[in-house]
Structure 1
Amino acid sequence: MDDFKLDRRLESDSDAVMRTGLCELRLSKDARWPWLILVPRRADITEIFELTPLDQVMLTFETDMVASALKKITGATKINIGALGNIVRQLHVHVIARFDGDANWPNPVWGFGKAEPYVADKRDAFIETLREALSS
């Protein structure tokens, strides 16, 4: 874990929310969707199957925990979960709240339009609400 370094693109495209048991939880800077990213704090891992069995279980647990909290606080129609890694190779899992009629609904969020930044106070309030939901 000491050798873990967050990929520069993940760092620049998202804001830190908190650390979970295994992962660093981050919020995408694209405000069009409530979009969270879980990054296991393990060096040189690109695929889920490269994690130890215990880390795989932890990642599944933390993904479920984050998805459940996101659905609860947003009232989303659907929670999309994916680990693609075609551009950023470092293992990371996207957890995205989707709503009927949102930008590009029902199509994927990737590669659609131009990212819209959060207003700082709305971002901060969302992060705080998320932290509270994950702490209870």
Structure 2
Amino acid sequence: MATTFTLHPRLQQDCIVIGRLQLCQLLMMNDSRYPWFVLVPEKAQLVEIYQLNKAERKLLIEESSYLAEHLAALYKADKINIAAIGNLVPQLHIHHIVRYQTDKAWPAPVWGKFDAVPYTEQEITDNITLLKNRLNL
């Protein structure tokens, strides 16, 4: 019996769904300190990238690169941090975090440094519109 894809409860709690690429759901972390986005392949019970077939792995890299390139341009990033950690959320998900040398956590990783500062409803709307337009979602 095939299992269907379900977004992990922690990602549901911490993120806002923006849209969908060919393989992945695109989420925005609800933390206004950093433009922070997450790609989640819509495949059931994935934990690691190697569990995707070869074509899906290539597509994941293409979607990640596409997202990173547009984030860098859109938000004028000093650096894009891309990571698949998964220690708290085992479901395969790839973080794309826009970093600036002036951000509060620089140059350290952002995980666990500070409490999240949620977006306002207007900021959510503005960011989603901006990203959907840029990525043609």
Alignment of 1:108 onto 2:123 = no
2:15 maps to which residue?
A: 14
Cα displacement string for residues 80-115 of structure 1 (whole angstroms, at most 9, x for unaligned residues)? 000000110000000000001102111100011111
Distance 1:37 1:59 in 2: 12
Question: How far does residue 123 in structure 1 lie from its aligned partner after superposition?
Answer: 1.6
1:98 maps to which residue?
A: 99
Structure 1 residues 134 and 100: CA distance shift in structure 2, 3 A: same
1:73 maps to which residue?
A: 74
Distance 1:127 1:69 in 2: 14
| Unaligned residue ranges in structure 2 (runs of 5+) | none
> Matched residue of 1:27: which SS?
strand
Question: How far does residue 2 in structure 1 lie from its aligned partner after superposition?
Answer: 6.8
Distance 1:126 1:88 in 2: 24
TM-score (structure 1 length as normaliser): 0.97
Question: How far does residue 26 in structure 1 lie from its aligned partner after superposition?
Answer: 0.1
Question: How far does residue 119 in structure 1 lie from its aligned partner after superposition?
Answer: 1.2
Distance 2:50 2:4 in 1: 19
Letter in 1 for 2:8: D
TM-score (structure 2 length as normaliser): 0.96
Letter in 2 for 1:58: L
| Unaligned residue ranges in structure 1 (runs of 5+) | none
Question: How far does residue 133 in structure 1 lie from its aligned partner after superposition?
Answer: 0.8
Runs of 4+ in 1 over 6 A off after TM superposition: none
> Matched residue of 2:85: which SS?
coil
Distance 1:12 1:124 in 2: 18
1:87 maps to which residue?
A: 88
Distance 2:77 2:8 in 1: 29
> Matched residue of 1:112: which SS?
coil
Q: CA RMSD in A?
A: 1.3
